[in-house]
Amino acid sequence: MSLVKTPVQAIAKKPLIGLKADSFRHPLDLEATKTLRQIPGIDIMVRNLLGPVAEQVFYAENIASSILVSEKQLPDLHYLLIDACKNLDIELPQLYIRQHPSPNAYTFAMRGKKPFIVLHTSLVDMLTPEEIQAVIGHELGHLKCDHSVYLTPANLLILATSILPNIGVVLAQSLQNQLLEWVRCAEFTCDRAALLATQNPKVVMSVLMKLAGGSPTLAPRLNLDAFVAQARAYDAISKTELGMMVKDAHTAQLSHPVPVLRAREIDRWSSSVEYHNLLGNKGLENRDQTQGGWRNW
């Protein structure tokens, strides 16, 4: 396996000093969060049922099974983390690399502990340094937006299902629809964070393309332009009544929106006035804001 050999190529990236989460938060994230907050005591209920022991198990299990990245351990990955944190104006969390055959990354924030990000080796293996930084930026988005309020209960539900099947099933049945809907919407926000960290929409969309159908051998052969065209075609199909039904059925039990939808959102937002204003780009004031940004699916 080959990890990062060289740091991210120097490009004109601008550290976004003073960046606020609400300045890039996706409207669907805002709506879903309001809905979730209407469930009385969701955070307290999950934590009280599972208890601090479950948090400790989840935390310790990851620490024991992963490699902590630092200046002396995989320093190139450490550089990517530092650079992304600088661009998003966020405090440095811990970063761990974990041996796992399924490409994935996740964030965990526990009370009284420093938050950490975990990247699976299979994900690192098929991405370029710039793409790895996009993934890190995405996970930093969860921390920047304080998603841990609901993300941690969601992770604990997953843990409960595996180690406490009876309790896990009861909790999942009562909360999974609301939590999964919120998680999917939060992912759109974090994709925006990935874009602000890398400031290159092609890099973010390339990550999504590789998550959809990549591997260490296939990834270099994939065509990003063709994937973006595929995302736009899916967008057009989903506007029909039948297409909406299929899309809803496809995504109802997923923890993430399908990659083509996420790519289409980044494609739009990267051309929006909102995004370019965050970067301090000028000359876009008269641009049609419907060209980019968000609209309801």
State pLDDT tens for residues 4-53.
444 555 456 889 999 999 999 999 888 888 877 776 666 565 556 555 66
pLDDT digits (tens, 9 = 90+) for 77-115: 999 999 999 999 999 999 999 999 999 999 888 767 788
Per the domain annotation, does 272 fall within a domain? Answer: no
pLDDT digits (tens, 9 = 90+) for 238-273: 555 444 444 443 444 444 567 888 998 999 999 999
Residue bearing the bigger pLDDT, 45 or 204? 204
pLDDT digits (tens, 9 = 90+) for 105-148: 998 887 677 889 999 999 999 999 999 999 999 999 999 998 87
**Per-residue pLDDT at 182:** 79
Is the predicted pLDDT of residue 177 greater than 60, yes or no? Answer: yes
**Per-residue pLDDT at 148:** 75
Per the domain annotation, does 266 fall within a domain? Answer: no
Residue bearing the bigger pLDDT, 1 or 120? 120
Q: What is the pTM of this model?
A: 0.81
**Per-residue pLDDT at 70:** 97
Per the domain annotation, does 75 fall within a domain? Answer: yes
Per the domain annotation, does 152 fall within a domain? Answer: yes
**Per-residue pLDDT at 41:** 63
Is the predicted pLDDT of residue 288 greater than 80, yes or no? Answer: no
Per the domain annotation, does 220 fall within a domain? Answer: no
Per the domain annotation, does 275 fall within a domain? Answer: no
**Per-residue pLDDT at 159:** 53
**Per-residue pLDDT at 231:** 83
Residues noted as catalytic: 139
- What is the tally of structural domains in the chain? 1
Per the domain annotation, does 209 fall within a domain? Answer: no
Range of the domain at 57: 19-200
Per the domain annotation, does 264 fall within a domain? Answer: no
CB-based contact 254:180 (threshold 8 Å): yes
CB-based contact 205:230 (threshold 8 Å): no
